[in-house]
C-alpha cells in the first residue's frame, strides 16, 4: 500500500488528481519449499533455491528479497521419478506420448521458453504428472553464453548461472485476473468460485540452470536422447557440463522430492488511478503500467516503465500548470498484482466495464519500458499509423547514423495483441484498441536480461541495460507523444483501413493453417472462407470511404483553426464528433458476448492469446482452435459468427 500512496502523492504533486482504488483478491505467498534429488532414498543433491548474493549488486542481498516461487502455484509435497519435457509445449508433450514415454505419476522437468509458464504446468497436470520444475537453459540465450566465451553477470553480459525466473503459473489463456472472480470485480463480499479453472493443482518450482544440471545429469543414459526428437528439442546449452539431454524417465531408484508450500489468502491490492479531465468527457485515453515486481529490484520490470509514466505525468502536469486542457480525458493507472496474472488491471476493467466501453478510445500500456535498445511494439491495427507517425518524430539515442529516429532504427513490425501484460482486459475483454511497447527485444548480441530474477537490478541496468538512461527517456517520449496525439487531434488518428487490411492478412494465415490440415480439402470449408472473404472485402470498401471522410474532416479542422466561423464550425465539429464516435466503437463491434469456446472470458473474435501459447496472439482464435481440433462443425460456426461481426463492423463505419 505504501507504494500505491507514494505513487498517488507524486502524481498529485505533479498536479494530477489521483486516488488509490483497492480490490480484495485471492493470492498466494510462499511459506516453504524444497527440491532434492534422491538416489536409493539418499539425498544426492539438495537445491538451495537461492540466487547468489553479489557484492557488486546491492539489491541481490536485501534481507526482504523475494524467495523463488511461482504465483498461483499449488501447495504439494511429491517424490517421484521425472522426465525431461523440453519446453513443455503442447507439441512437446505430444512428442513424448508418441515416443511412448510414461508421464503419469512423474515430475516434469521443463525449460522456460516458447509458451507461458502456466500452460506448461497445465499440460503436465492434464497428462497425470504430479509436479513441474521449470528451469532456464542457456541454450536459449543466443550467442551471449559462457560457452561462446562471454563472462556471466556481473563480470560480463552472459546469464548468471544462479539466476532464477520467478513468475505466475496461472492459466493465462483461460482468463486473467483474480481466479475466483472471472468476469466481475473482486470487491469485498462478492461470491467466489473455485480457483482451479485458471490455476494448477500440482506443485511447481522455478530453478536456475546451475541447480538443474545435477537433475539433467542424472538422466544421462536413461530413455531416448533429445537429439532423436524433432529439431525443437536440439537446443541444449549444457552439453559442456556433461548433460546429454536424455529424456528419461529417471530409473525408479532416482527420484525428485518437490515440496511447495503456499499460503493462500484474500487480501487487498491497490491500483493508483489519476485523471486529467478533457473538454470531451466521453472520449477517454487510458495509460497504464504495473507497479508490482517479482523482486526487490525490478529495474527493468516494471520500474523502467514506471519511471516513464512518472516522467510523462510530470510533463503533462507542467502543461496543465500553463493552462493546457486536453481535448479528451486522460486516465493514468499504476496497476498492482500484474505479475500474479494481470490482477489489478483486470479487476479494474471488470469494475468499470460499462463506462470504459462507453467512453474509452484507446489504452496504451508500457510494462518493461527499457531493457535493451530495440523498439518493439504490439498493437491493435487501428493504432498502427499513429504509432508510425509518432516514432518518426522522436530521435533515437543511437546516432551512429546522424538524425536517426526511433522509426528509422525499428524493424517496423507491429505484433498482434495476445496477452502477457495489462492490456489484456482492455483489448480482449472490453474491445478497447490497445498498444504495448518498450525498448527491449533482444538481438543475438545484446546482454542477457535476467527476467524476474534478482539480477533485474539497478546495478545491471547501469552496466548493461541502459547505462545513460537515454532509452528510458525515449520510452517516455514515445508514450507521451502518442497519448498527446490521441487526446489532442480533432479527428482521432486511427486508421480503419489498416484494420480491414489486417483482417485479410489474418484470414490468409488461417487458410494456410487449414490447408496444412485435413479440414481444408472439404468443399464446404472452402465455401465458409469465401463468405468471410466477401464480408472482409465489404469492410475494406466501407473503411476506405470512411477514411476519406475522416481525412477531409481532419484537413478542415486544421484549416478552421484560428478563423472561427460559428455556423461552419458547429457543423464541422458535429461531423468530427460523429466520425470520432464511429472510430471509438469500431473495436467493440468485434466482441462476441458468449466469448470463445471453453474460455468465455475472452470476447474478441480477432485477438486472443493462443490457447496453448499464452503470450503470442492468435488471430481469429475461434477458427484457429477449430482447425487445430479438426472440428469442422466449430469451424463453420466460427466462420459464421465472424462473418456476421465483420458485416456489423462495416455497419459501424457507414
Element (H, E) at 28: strand 17-39
Question: Which of 590-614 are b and which e, b meaning 16 or more Cβ less than 10 Å from the residue's Cβ?
Answer: bbbeebbbebebbbbbbbbbbbbbb
C-alpha cell at 646: 465483420
The strands making up 204-207's β-sheet, listed across from edge to edge, are 82-84, 107-111, 131-135, 204-207
Provide CB contacts within 8 A for 114, sequence distance 6+: 87, 88, 89, 613
* Beta carbon of residue 113, minimum distance to Zn ion (angstroms, whole number): 17
Nearest to 298 by CA among 181, 439, 450: 450
The dihedral formed by the CA atoms of 609, 613, 614 and 619, expressed in degrees to the nearest 10: -10
DSSP-assigned beta bridge partners for residue 463: none
- Given the complex with Zn ion, which of 88 and 302 has the nearer CB atom? 302
* Beta carbon of residue 416, minimum distance to Zn ion (angstroms, whole number): 19
Distance CA 338, CA 273 (A): 15
- Given the complex with Zn ion, which of 86 and 289 has the nearer CB atom? 289
* Beta carbon of residue 29, minimum distance to Zn ion (angstroms, whole number): 19
- Given the complex with Zn ion, which of 289 and 480 has the nearer CB atom? 289
* Beta carbon of residue 420, minimum distance to Zn ion (angstroms, whole number): 9
- Given the complex with Zn ion, which of 302 and 465 has the nearer CB atom? 302
C-alpha cell at 611: 490457447
- Given the complex with Zn ion, which of 167 and 237 has the nearer CB atom? 167
Secondary structure string (H, E, C) spanning 341-397: HCHHHHHHHHHCHHHHHHHEEEEEECCCCECCCCEEEEECHHHHHHHHHHHHCCECC
- Given the complex with Zn ion, which of 70 and 328 has the nearer CB atom? 70
Evaluate whether 117 touches 85 at the Cβ level (below 8 Å): no
- Given the complex with Zn ion, which of 249 and 302 has the nearer CB atom? 302
Provide CB contacts within 8 A for 541, sequence distance 6+: none
* Beta carbon of residue 333, minimum distance to Zn ion (angstroms, whole number): 14
Nearest to 228 by CA among 81, 88, 95: 95
* Beta carbon of residue 305, minimum distance to Zn ion (angstroms, whole number): 7
* Beta carbon of residue 297, minimum distance to Zn ion (angstroms, whole number): 13
Nearest to 18 by CA among 4, 8, 10, 3: 8
- Given the complex with Zn ion, which of 72 and 494 has the nearer CB atom? 72
- Given the complex with Zn ion, which of 301 and 625 has the nearer CB atom? 301
- Given the complex with Zn ion, which of 367 and 587 has the nearer CB atom? 367
Question: Which of 478-495 are b and which e, b meaning 16 or more Cβ less than 10 Å from the residue's Cβ?
Answer: bbbbbbbbbbebbbbbbb
* Beta carbon of residue 373, minimum distance to Zn ion (angstroms, whole number): 19
* Beta carbon of residue 367, minimum distance to Zn ion (angstroms, whole number): 4
* Beta carbon of residue 369, minimum distance to Zn ion (angstroms, whole number): 10
Distance CA 618, CA 413 (A): 16
**Which positions lie near Zn ion, rule CB under 5 A?**
301-302, 367
Cβ neighbour number for residue 512 with a 10 Å cutoff: 10
Nearest to 418 by CA among 602, 293, 284, 596: 602
Amino acid at each position: 500500500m505504501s507504494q500505491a500512496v507514494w505513487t498517488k502523492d507524486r502524481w498529485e504533486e505533479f498536479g494530477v488528481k489521483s486516488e488509490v482504488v483497492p480490490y480484495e483478491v485471492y493470492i498466494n505467498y510462499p511459506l516453504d519449499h524444497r527440491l532434492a534429488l534422491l538416489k536409493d532414498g539418499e539425498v544426492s543433491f539438495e537445491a538451495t533455491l537461492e540466487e547468489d548474493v553479489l557484492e557488486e549488486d546491492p539489491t541481490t542481498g536485501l534481507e526482504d528479497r523475494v524467495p523463488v516461487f511461482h504465483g498461483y502455484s499449488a501447495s504439494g509435497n511429491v517424490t517421484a521419478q521425472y522426465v525431461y519435457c523440453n519446453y513443455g509445449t503442447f507439441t512437446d508433450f505430444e512428442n513424448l506420448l508418441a515416443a511412448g514415454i510414461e508421464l503419469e505419476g512423474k515430475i516434469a522437468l521443463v525449460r522456460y521458453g516458447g509458451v507461458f509458464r502456466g500452460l506448461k504446468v497445465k499440460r503436465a497436470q492434464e497428462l497425470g504428472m504430479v509436479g513441474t520444475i521449470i528451469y532456464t537453459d542457456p541454450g536459449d540465450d543466443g550467442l551471449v553464453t559462457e560457452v561462446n566465451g562471454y563472462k556471466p553477470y556481473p563480470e560480463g553480459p552472459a546469464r548468471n548461472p544462479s539466476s532464477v525466473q520467478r513468475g505466475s503459473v496461472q492459466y493465462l489463456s483461460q482468463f486473467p485476473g483474480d481466479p475466483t472472480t472471472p468476469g466481475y470485480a473482486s470487491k469485498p463480499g462478492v461470491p467466489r468460485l473455485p480457483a482451479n479453472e485458471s490455476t494448477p493443482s500440482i506443485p511447481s518450482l522455478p530453478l536456475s540452470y546451475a541447480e538443474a544440471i545435477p537433475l539433467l545429469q542424472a538422466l544421462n543414459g536413461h530413455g531416448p536422447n533429445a537429439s532423436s526428437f524433432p529439431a525443437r528439442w536440439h537446443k541444449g546449452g549444457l552439453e559442456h557440463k556433461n548433460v546429454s539431454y536424455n529424456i528419461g524417465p529417471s530409473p525408479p531408484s532416482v527420484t525428485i522430492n518437490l515440496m511447495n508450500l503456499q499460503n493462500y489468502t484474500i487480501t487487498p491490492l491497490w491500483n493508483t488511478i489519476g485523471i486529467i479531465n478533457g473538454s470531451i468527457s466521453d472520449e477517454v485515453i487510458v495509460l497504464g503500467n504495473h507497479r508490482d515486481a517479482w523482486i526487490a529490484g525490478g529495474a527493468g520490470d516494471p520500474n523502467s516503465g514506471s519511471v516513464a509514466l512518472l516522467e510523462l505525468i510530470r510533463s503533462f502536469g507542467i502543461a496543465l500548470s500553463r493552462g493546457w486542457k486536453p481535448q479528451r480525458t486522460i486516465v493514468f493507472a499504476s496497476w498492482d498484482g500484474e505479475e500474479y496474472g494481470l490482477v489489478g488491471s483486470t479487476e479494474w476493467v471488470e469494475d468499470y466495464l460499462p463506462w470504459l466501453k462507453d467512453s474509452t478510445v484507446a489504452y496504451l500500456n508500457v510494462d518493461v519500458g527499457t531493457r535493451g535498445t530495440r523498439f518493439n511494439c504490439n498493437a491493435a491495427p487501428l493504432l498502427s499509423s499513429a504509432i508510425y507517425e509518432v516514432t518518426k518524430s522522436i530521435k533515437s539515442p543511437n546516432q551512429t547514423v546522424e538524425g536517426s529516429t526511433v522509426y528509422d532504427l525499428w524493424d517496423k513490425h507491429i505484433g498482434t495483441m495476445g496477452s502477457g501484460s495489462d492490456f489484456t482486459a482492455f483489448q480482449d475483454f472490453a474491445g478497447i484498441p490497445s498498444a504495448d511497447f518498450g525498448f527491449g527485444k533482444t538481438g543475438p548480441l545484446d546482454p542477457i536480461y535476467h527476467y524476474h530474477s534478482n539480477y533485474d537490478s539497478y546495478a545491471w541496468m547501469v552496466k548493461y541495460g541502459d547505462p545513460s538512461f537515454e532509452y528510458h527517456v525515449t520510452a517516455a517520449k514515445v508514450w507521451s507523444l502518442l497519448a498527446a496525439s490521441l487526446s489532442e487531434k480533432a479527428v482521432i488518428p486511427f486508421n480503419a483501413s489498416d484494420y480491414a487490411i489486417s483482417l485479410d492478412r489474418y484470414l490468409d494465415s488461417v487458410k494456410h493453417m487449414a490447408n496444412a490440415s485435413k479440414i481444408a480439402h472439404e468443399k464446404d470449408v472452402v465455401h465458409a472462407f469465401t463468405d468471410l472473404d466477401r464480408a472482409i472485402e465489404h469492410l475494406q470498401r466501407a473503411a476506405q470511404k470512411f477514411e476519406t471522410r475522416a481525412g477531409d474532416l481532419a484537413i478542415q479542422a486544421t484549416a478552421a483553426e484560428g478563423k472561427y466561423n460559428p455556423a461552419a464550425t458547429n457543423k464541422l465539429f458535429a461531423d468530427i464528433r460523429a466520425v470520432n464516435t464511429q472510430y471509438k466503437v469500431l473495436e467493440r463491434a468485434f466482441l462476441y458476448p458468449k466469448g470463445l469456446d471453453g474460455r468465455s472470458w475472452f470476447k474478441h473474435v480477432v485477438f486472443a492469446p493462443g490457447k496453448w501459447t499464452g503470450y503470442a496472439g492468435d488471430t481469429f482464435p475461434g477458427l484457429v482452435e477449430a482447425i487445430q481440433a479438426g472440428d469442422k462443425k466449430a469451424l463453420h460456426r466460427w466462420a459464421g459468427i465472424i462473418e456476421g461481426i465483420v458485416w456489423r463492423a462495416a455497419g459501424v463505419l457507414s
